[in-house]
Every structure is written in C-alpha cells, then in structure tokens.
Amino acid sequence: MSNLRPQAVLFDLDGTLVDTAPDFVRVLNELRQQHGRPALSHQQIRPAVSAGARAMVNVGFPEYSLDSHEFLQLRQAFLDNYGQNVCQDSQVFTGLETLLAGLEAQGIPWGIVTNKPRIYSEALLSALALAQRCAVLVCPDDVKNTKPDPEPMYLACKHLNIEPTQTVYVGDHLRDIQAGKNAQMTTIAVGFGYIVEGENIADWQADYCVDSVDELIGLFAL
C-alpha cells in the first residue's frame, strides 16, 4: 500500500463520504406508493444514487421520457420530499470517521466537492455534525461547470490555498475521477459506493482503486 501524504483530501459526498442511499430509497418508494406502485428494493435503487435525482426517478418511473411534463413533476416532488428530511437514515460510511479524525489529527484539511445542490448538502452535513469540521464545501451552485469539469476542484483548492497537485480526491463515479485528473489531483476510486452493476472502477484509470474503507484508510500515512 502507498503512504499518501497530501496537503488536503477532498471527497465526493453521496456514495463516497456519506451513505445517503437509505433516504433516497425511502423517498422514491414513498413517491411510488403515492402513485399506487409497490416498493422497489434497495438494490434496485442504490446504483442510481450517484447519478442524481433524474436517474433515481427514472428507475422508479421508467415509462416517462426524461423531458416529459409528468417526469419533471415527479422529479420535483421527489426533491421536495427529500428536502423535508435529508438525514433520517443517512450516515458516514462505517470506518470513515477514523480517516477523518486521522486527517484532522495531522492538521490535514478535508473537504467536499459534490454535484449535490448546496441546500441539501449543507442540511446533510449539519445533521451529521460535519459542517464545522469540513474545511470546504463546493456545490453546483458555486460554479459554472460541474464535475467532470475541473472548475469545482480548482475552487476548492483556492479556498484551502493548496495546490491541486498536493490534493487527493476520492470518488465513486467516473466523473469524480475525471474531474480530479483534469485538475492534476491524485485520484482514488472507491468500490464501496454506488457502482452500477457491470461497471469496473479499474476502467476509470484512477491513481488508486479500493474496494473497502479499510483499504482507503491504508493508503494514507496516518
């Protein structure tokens, strides 16, 4: 294993730092119930979480085209319901608190670069008591171009006053790795996130690939 000694560590949020799938599964199934449909399994919904609300609603209501009036109404209802309680069942992935505490103990700032809108991201971090510990939070609201564009990565580093080349980015989606590489960061792909069936994280060409939180922690010299 490597002994990474970055000046900062940035994480994707959903599926990388926090397991938000339980709340999204709950909200989507509540919406399906309202429309007289049976609940879907956790396994059916989980892989779509990192792709956002549109992808999840498409799993729940596949018969509607993504630009139809019906679909857009369903997507808004999904977001409205999620916004009412973003953290009923979400939690930091088991074991990751050890990594966060280890980084903090060494004075290494950690932050988040996510495609999740700020209104939900801030509420989630607050509910998990992470808001004050997170050194920087960059959301789609803050930039013109979102991941895989490097703009949000550069903005996070600017806030931290740390060079991207001295920063590690951790993510569970191809666009995460692309954004990190586009910003010349060291990238880590995690297989414990919301990986689509049949997808191989090794194909993303990250600098490191790990399948567990323990493997991720083992990459760092803590």
Active site residue 142: no
- Selected catalytic residue, list 12, 19, 23, 176: 12
Active site residue 176: no
Report the C-alpha dihedral over residues 39, 44, 46, 48, rounded to 10 degrees.
-110
What's the rounded Cα separation, in Å, for the pair 89 and 77? 20
DSSP string, the chain: ---B--SEEEE-TBTTTEE-HHHHHHHHHHHHHHTT-PPPPHHHHGGGGGG-HHHHHHHH-TTS-TTSHHHHHHHHHHHHHHHH-TTSS-EEPTTHHHHHHHHHHTT--EEEE-SS-HHHHHHHHHHTT-TTT-S-EE-GGG-SS-TTSSHHHHHHHHHHT--GGGEEEEESSHHHHHHHHHTT-EEEEETTS-PPTT--GGGG--SEEESSHHHHHHTB--
List active site positions. 12, 14
